[in-house]
Structure 1
Amino acid sequence: MLSPRKRTTLTLLFAIILVAHHLPAQTDAFVQRIGTKLTLGSSPFRYSGPNIEWLGLEGYGPHDPMGPRYPSRFEIDDAFATASEMGAKVVRAQTMGDTVGCPLCIEPEEGKFNEAAFQASDYAVAAAQKHGIKLIIPLVGDCATCAGGGIGQYLAWHRKPNPQDFFIDPALIAAYEKHIDAVLNHINPLTGIRYKDDPTIMAWENCNMCGLITMLSGGGPAALAQVSAWSETIGAHINQVDSRHLYLDTTGIFRVYPLILDNKSIDLVTFEFYPHWDALLGPNQPPTTAATFTKDAAVVTSHSKAFIVNEFGWDRTDWKTTQDFQSVLDTIASDPNISGDGFWALQAHLDNFGFQPIPADATNPTFAEHGESGQWWALYYPGVKTLVNTADDMAARAQQLRTHAYVMSGTPVPKHMTPPRPVITATVLVGLIAWRGSAGAINYSIERNDPGTKEWKTICDRCATDSDDPWADPHGTLGGAHYRVIAYNADGVASQPSDPR
């Protein structure tokens, strides 16, 4: 006969077993590097996931017609729910650590820090932890309103016209290190943990391909050596403040200056892969193909660093067909020298209805396809029509990315998640219905309940998508009908109906 103490112990063990499979694995462990590989806990760690640039501040990097603004908690929740549905284990989010020079930024003015600017990032860290997703956080990056990006804001503050000064001027380096300290030492009020102590964060990134400034301006070995020395200075500073997170070099100069790969502080090295932009890198650069990933990974790992793909394009302007794209994904997945990858870039639903607007939008079809525009790179799951992409092609490539993410993490591809129940946000006049979209929803059915009846009649049988939201009832009346909305995933599984309205 079991003693009361043993019965209590067994009860607790059974409770742990019952809930364990519902909990994200290893959320309290730091991602570590052993040689050229990553580990989480005692297991190998490989990943795929999206870039979600706007988690800290929308409209700061690629221009957003609604920004700059803080994203809502719903937008953040929806983005992480979608990333999780797509199999993501890591999300890279620039604006969680890099914003400078605007009233809503982390550092609105040099040396002055805005604690309120962390509110969205704080929530994003908590949301990532909830989903078992790790974060890569750049510390200086893009800026839509800064000449020369985020680096340009530091140069403007110090009235330095030469971009190379960012890498060599002691005052500029000190200013950037002060920004780094403010981010790493910030205490998240939702978790009570300083960012530098939070295992949800996987890596700190030094910049967003900042070495291209030197490369494209014709800087020779001496100038590239300055960028390399800067990277080591920043890495050593980060490691002094925070010894547990990985340090990611994204200067992008290792192809022309491989000596940077011998820097002691660097854990991870990356490049960004866009055939779309090959012409900008000059005539001496070979075209980006699937083989390019393998070549870069071999170079980096030969110097005992881990290699990841921080950004890669997914659309037809980068890889003409889905077969071409699949060849790239297969190459990445089959190369053990590639520890992870992140596509650019995932968008989310809005609070009221539909999706976030296309960032860096363009109305000219030629510019939309060939210039800098979310019309080609913004991914809306499961797929929408843009000036560059058809809804069917985006949907097909989104599913390729989903399968690839599970292959990278070494787990079977599961059935699609059941979408959360939609929320009707407005019913206007004679049957115009708007609803908050559901993560993972492929389409929606709409039901109507007429006055004096208890019956719910389907008036739209999976005929609506988030692109049709708001939706107009063709037989709407002024008589006070009620509506409810049901979401369906790619397996045809229905959500719970929305509350009627």
Structure 2
Amino acid sequence: MAKSNWVAGSIITLTAAVLVVIVSPAVAQSSQPNDFVQRAGTKLTLSGAPFRYSGPNIEWLGLEGYGPHDPMGPRLPSHFEIDDAFDTAAEMGAKVVRAQTMGDTVGCGLCIEPTEGKFNDAAFQSTDYALAVARNHGMKLIIPLVGDCATCAGGGIGQYLAWEKRQNPQDFFTDAGVIAAYERHIDAVLNHLNPMTGLRYKDDPTIMAWENCNMCGILTMLSGGGASALGQVSAWGETIGAHIKQQDSHHLYLDTSGIYRVYPAVLDNKSTDLATFEFYPHWDILLGPNQPPTTAATFSHDAAAVTSHGKVFIVNEFGWDRTDWKTQQDFEQVLTTLAHDPNVSGDGYWALQAHLDNFGFQPIPADATNPIFAEHGECGEWWALYYPGVKTLVNSAEDMAVRAQQLRTHAYAMSGTELPKHRIPPRPVITSTVIVGLIAWRGSAGAVRYSVERNDAGSKEWKPICDRCATDADDPWADPHGTLGGVHYRVIAWNADGVASEPSDPR
């Protein structure tokens, strides 16, 4: 990975090509941290101007290892991980971030609701910080209120059922006790006071929308539930929406039950502002033979269906990798469709990872070592995005890097903003030289290469010993010259335009 300048060359070529085919909307926009995103019919507005966006899903901002399939178990992300994720999202042109664990965690010691009806204020600390960081970046957040949980059968829904001693998943939508338990969780989230902003979540304009669930209607669809059962899901969606809006008059309400394709009446719920689906050709087989395959045209078909009922259509999740779209050209067709369709107000790809505090990147979530499972199962080997690109069992570093730049160009097209030069990366931080000649550094958001310089004892000059030869995959990096001591190092990060950061402090 560290033997050529393929990243910068691929990026320059791709960016030129993408700019030819994507036509940005006429109205550019800027996020105002003190203004709420609002709905005007089937469109979004911010500060009275049209608002369109693209951005990442960053699932772990509230709690890492919550789900799915993380053997390390739940843990709070560090401030640096959160900072790095938002810095990377900003480099990629994001206006909105969807963060599942900022509102939905239940049933674990570090969760918002460890046990039924008992809420843990300390569990909000990562979410509090993430909200403050998002505000500083001028970004908005979509926060789901129930989603996945690695330790709970049936996801977060399963935890509520277990608490209320119910076994039928459909009871989540119909049982008064289960609904009341979920509403208590919602109340705790909406009314939490963030000490970093001085605002309760229900009053914070950094939040764009509350999401009722993470494709929870799929449970009913896959179990063969007919119109009656789907109607129960729809009625539940309105109950939850009305409950949220009774407390919170500011924020939009997003229905992600996922049933509108088979039960269009759900789109007529009065409380709903936005409706969405999750788009993965990778998972088409799970939707059954009666559902057409997911193509670029699927996005426009669904957008037309949702907006015909007077709601805003967004794409909450879509896959970016080769198991979803075989070639970069296939993926570009999807992005062009999204950018050019006025019925699509926003989209979010799944899912962005960040650098670790010490060196390198966060480990691959939901990981596997079997190449067949890694490619075809539920595994971060195919869906985890590391900017600018790393090698996994499924994706090459080169392909991931090109697709990341496609997403970056697309984000600026969606927001009607001219594609800018790449941001200058933050200066790296050397975290260890304990092992003589082995240098570890904290990665820099947006860096595609690193240089290492050496200062020998008694010398006043810094000597380059690695000229853009290292990536985050080579961190820690071994000085091939070795030394017995008295040597200092510094590291420089380079962006995709070949522009250098400030050198790290020597160590």
TM-score of the alignment, normalized to the shorter chain, above 0.5:
yes
1:100 is matched with which residue? 106
TM-score by length of 1: 0.95
1:428 and 1:394 map into 2 onto residues whose CA distance is 33
2:232 and 2:210 map into 1 onto residues whose CA distance is 20
2:180 is matched with which residue? 174
1:327 is matched with which residue? 333
Alignment root-mean-square deviation, CA: 0.9
Question: Is structure 2 residue 129 aligned with structure 1 residue 129?
Answer: no
Question: Is structure 2 residue 233 aligned with structure 1 residue 227?
Answer: yes
Question: 1:246-295 CA distances to partner (integer Å, 9 max, x unpaired)?
Answer: 00000000000000011000000000000000000001110000000000
Question: 1:290-319 CA distances to partner (integer Å, 9 max, x unpaired)?
Answer: 000000000000000000000000000000
Question: Is structure 2 residue 475 aligned with structure 1 residue 469?
Answer: yes
Question: Is structure 2 residue 214 aligned with structure 1 residue 208?
Answer: yes
Q: AA paired with 2:151? A: T
Question: 1:444-485 CA distances to partner (integer Å, 9 max, x unpaired)?
Answer: 000000011111000000000000000000111113210000
1:49 and 1:271 map into 2 onto residues whose CA distance is 16
Secondary structure, in 3 states, of the residue corresponding to 2:59? Answer: coil
1:33 and 1:354 map into 2 onto residues whose CA distance is 41
1:64 and 1:175 map into 2 onto residues whose CA distance is 26
Give the alignment of 1:29-428 within 5 angstroms: 29-428=35-434
Contact 1:429 1:478 in 2 (8 A): no
2:189 and 2:262 map into 1 onto residues whose CA distance is 31
Q: How many residues align?
A: 479
Contact 2:31 2:46 in 1 (8 A): no
Deviation, 1:183, is 0.1
Contact 2:54 2:95 in 1 (8 A): yes
1:429 and 1:77 map into 2 onto residues whose CA distance is 28
1:247 and 1:209 map into 2 onto residues whose CA distance is 15
Question: Per the alignment, do residues 374 and 416 of structure 1 end up closer, same or farther by CA in structure 2, a change over 3 Å counting?
Answer: same
Select the structure with the greater relative contact order (CA < 8 A; seq sep ≥ 6). 2
Question: Is structure 2 residue 490 aligned with structure 1 residue 488?
Answer: no
Contact 2:42 2:307 in 1 (8 A): yes
Deviation, 1:65, is 4.4
Deviation, 1:158, is 1.2
Contact 1:92 1:135 in 2 (8 A): yes
Contact 2:31 2:95 in 1 (8 A): no
Q: AA paired with 2:203? A: D
Question: Is structure 2 residue 456 aligned with structure 1 residue 450?
Answer: yes
2:24 is matched with which residue? none
Question: Per the alignment, do residues 414 and 202 of structure 1 end up closer, same or farther by CA in structure 2, a change over 3 Å counting?
Answer: same
Contact 2:381 2:393 in 1 (8 A): yes
Deviation, 1:350, is 0.3
Q: AA paired with 1:462? A: R
1:55 and 1:429 map into 2 onto residues whose CA distance is 32
1:395 and 1:105 map into 2 onto residues whose CA distance is 34
Secondary structure, in 3 states, of the residue corresponding to 2:277? Answer: strand
Q: AA paired with 2:129? A: Y
Contact 1:207 1:249 in 2 (8 A): yes
Deviation, 1:66, is 3.9
Deviation, 1:486, is 0.1
1:92 and 1:122 map into 2 onto residues whose CA distance is 15
- Residue identity (%): 82
Question: 1:389-423 CA distances to partner (integer Å, 9 max, x unpaired)?
Answer: 00000000000000000000000000000000000
Contact 1:65 1:357 in 2 (8 A): no
Which 5+ residue runs of structure 1 have no aligned equivalent? 1-22
Contact 1:268 1:305 in 2 (8 A): yes
Deviation, 1:63, is 3.1
2:262 and 2:493 map into 1 onto residues whose CA distance is 50
1:11 is matched with which residue? none
Question: 1:303-346 CA distances to partner (integer Å, 9 max, x unpaired)?
Answer: 00000000000000000000000000000000000000000000
Which 5+ residue runs of structure 2 have no aligned equivalent? 1-28
2:434 and 2:322 map into 1 onto residues whose CA distance is 39
Contact 2:31 2:139 in 1 (8 A): no
Secondary structure, in 3 states, of the residue corresponding to 1:247? Answer: strand
